[in-house]
Amino acid sequence: MQAGQLAELSGQEARGFLLLGTLHNNRLNRKQAIQAWQRVLQVNADASGLQVSADEFLLTFGRVYLQEGQPQEAIALLDRSLAIRATAETQTYLGEAFEQLGDSERAVSAWTRAIEMHSLSVKAREGMARTALQQQASAKALEWLRPVLNQPDLTSSTAYLAQRACALAGDNLDAASWEKRVEELRSQEQRHDMIETGIQRSPQSFWSRAVLAHRFAREGNAVQAAQIVMMLLKDAPDEPFLRELARHLERGTPLPSLDLIPLKQF
């Protein structure tokens, strides 16, 4: 059943609009997602009985408002989510909403609570570092960042803050090193974003299915990965990415890098 059809069924309107908004959000159509999710709360004010928990829905809805530059609306939803279940993630986004409003005091308060809940909350530590840099406190900024700088999932935004802190401190050697790392991470992130956009636009395309097989393999789901790879190899038996992925599944060789995917064909 389609999301629109579900939204028209008596008693299922909220679930249908939730699904419709989720589809829009997955396609980066955030304004349409907001409109659909507003309908959810119109017919189900407490967001109960949905496909996801109420606190999770309110968090996601608030985050989309934040992405659209509407922090006041985001705060109202994030506060409701926190009243149901307090999490470091929700506190972090609440801090970002206050930051958008220019309320640094309440932003810091929210980020502090997030870090108390989860010491390696990256976005909360980034927020604290940004605040320290605004106060010209480079050492304090680095102190906030240091626990997450060696994490394997380091992002360009964290590395850039480290670069700024080192530059502010006059440590030109470390600043240059971080600048190089920022460029590397941004390149990786841009590639990842292009792949994600391609999957969202054409989930059944050849390369979308190839990435799905890669994810199955990475998660240890070798059976489903192999099924997809076998079908794709029939159409492209000499494709290097698929051949390496097949070898990984058959012989346990290293998982191929997504860098092998030709983005122009994606």
Residue 94 within a domain: no
Evaluate whether 97 touches 125 at the Cβ level (below 8 Å): no
Could you tell me if 244 and 216 lie in one domain? yes
Domain count, the chain: 2
Residue 141 within a domain: yes
Please, which contacts does 188-196 make with residues 24 or more away whose CB atoms are closer than 8 Å? 189/155, 189/156, 191/258, 191/259, 191/263, 192/258, 194/263, 194/266, 195/258, 195/261, 195/263, 195/266
Residue 17 within a domain: no
Residue 112 within a domain: no
Residues 6+ apart with CB under 8 A from 107: 95, 96, 98, 99, 127, 131
Among the candidates 163, 193, 223, a domain finishes at: 193
Ramachandran class of 253: left when φ > 0, alpha when ψ lies in -120 to 50, beta otherwise? beta
* 3 pLDDT higher than 50: no
pLDDT at 1: 42
Could you tell me if 177 and 225 lie in one domain? no
Q: pLDDT-based confidence at 54, cuts 50/70/90?
A: very high
The string of pLDDT tens digits covering residues 76-130 is 999 999 999 999 999 999 999 999 999 999 999 999 999 999 999 999 999 999 9
CA 206, CA 137: separation in Å to the nearest integer? 50
Residues 6+ apart with CB under 8 A from 213: 224, 225, 228, 229, 232, 245
Among the candidates 147, 175, 193, a domain finishes at: 193
Residue 95 within a domain: no
Residue 2 within a domain: no
Q: Provide the domain limits for residue 263.
A: 202-266
Q: What is the pTM of this model?
A: 0.81
